[in-house]
Amino acid sequence: MNVWLKLIGPVTLPITQSITIDIPILNYDNHKEWKDAVLLNLGILGFDYALHNEKPAEHTAQSTEEQKTLYERWATANRLGVFLIKSKIAREIRGPVDEVKEIKSLLKAIDDQFVDANKSLASTLIMKFINMRLSTVKGTRKHIMELRDIAAQLKKLKIILPDAFVVHFALNTLSQEYSAFKIAYNTHKDEWSINQLITMCTQEETRLVTELGESAFMATTRPKRKSGKPKGLTIAAKEKLTPKADIKKIQKCFFCKKKGHMKKDCIKFQKWMSQKGYDKTETANGN
């Protein structure tokens, strides 16, 4: 929406140019983005004057011109700011705040409706933060910046992650190729800021890629073998295997040295056993 704003009269807000306002309609799941856009535009348009200043006393017979001017400035900023905010709220959630007339109270009433949503967002961000891992050598800058961004979002939700913690956590999420780099940091006396960590990790990444080549990161991203039949012999090789039922045909008797039977079934062995007096089987006596 393009707005040309120039107030005529005793109050002139500091906007005399065309401004493009891009504010999403507030719904059930975009409160944070919506509020950021609203506050930005309130500041651009000068309507945040009513947000950051207490409401002046209303006019009386004893009011000076300066007091009247300040009140008119606050009242104008408040009225237009409230109108702007309400115009960007979905009808189905506008009801509880529709009667609020002051901008500061209006924003608080809207925030109160999204307390539970903020708790849910915090839980989601925490889980995302603790599960982030870098499995390759490349991409350290983007990875650490994403961790830093989540920490910043949590801070807005009143969950503070100290920079020192974020630095240590980020180091522990790097791939195993950075093991020596992690040890070097842990034995170093000075502590790095997050920006210093990004710089140092980027230098180490360049060194690893140069020193180890493509294998440094391809090894950690090698696709897993698809599940299915395990690797084994080819069909041709399998066909060469002798079926279990035919094992006896290729067995060799350790007594007579002939193939086709085993020692325990060898007639000569049974006869030899009978002659020695170890076994007088019927078969042996017959031979």
Q: Are 196 and 139 in contact (CB under 8 A)?
A: no
83-108 pLDDT, tens per residue?
A: 999 999 988 888 778 889 999 999 99
40-60 pLDDT, tens per residue?
A: 999 999 999 999 999 998 888
192-206 pLDDT, tens per residue?
A: 999 999 999 999 999
Is the confidence at residue 148, as pLDDT, over 80? yes
What pLDDT band is residue 131 in, cutting at 50, 70 and 90?
very high
Q: Distance between CA atoms of 204 and 185, rounded to whole angstroms? A: 12
φ and ψ at 212, to 5 degrees? -100, -15
- Ranked by mean pLDDT, the top range of 225-229, 255-259, 275-279 is 255-259
12-30 pLDDT, tens per residue?
A: 444 444 455 789 999 887 8
Residue 13: which of 88, 86, 101, 81 has the closest Cα? 81
- Whose tokens are 């989540």? That residue is 150
pLDDT on residue 265: 81
Start-to-end CA distance of the chain, whole Å, equals 114
Is the confidence at residue 220, as pLDDT, over 60? no
What pLDDT band is residue 187 in, cutting at 50, 70 and 90?
confident
Q: Distance between CA atoms of 198 and 144, rounded to whole angstroms? A: 7
Sign of the dihedral defined by the CA atoms of residues 140, 146, 147, 151, in that order: positive
Residue 140 or 9, more confident: 140
Where would I find the H helices in 132-281? 140-156, 163-172, 179-186, 194-212, 215-218, 235-240, 267-275
DSSP result, 48-114: THHHHSPPPPPP-TT--HHHHHHHHHHHHHHHHHHHHHHTTB-HHHHGGGTT--SHHHHHHHHHHHT
Whether the predicted model's global pTM rises above the 0.75 cut: no
Run of H or E including 3: strand 2-4
Helix axes 163-172, 179-186, angle to 10 degrees: 150
pLDDT on residue 10: 40
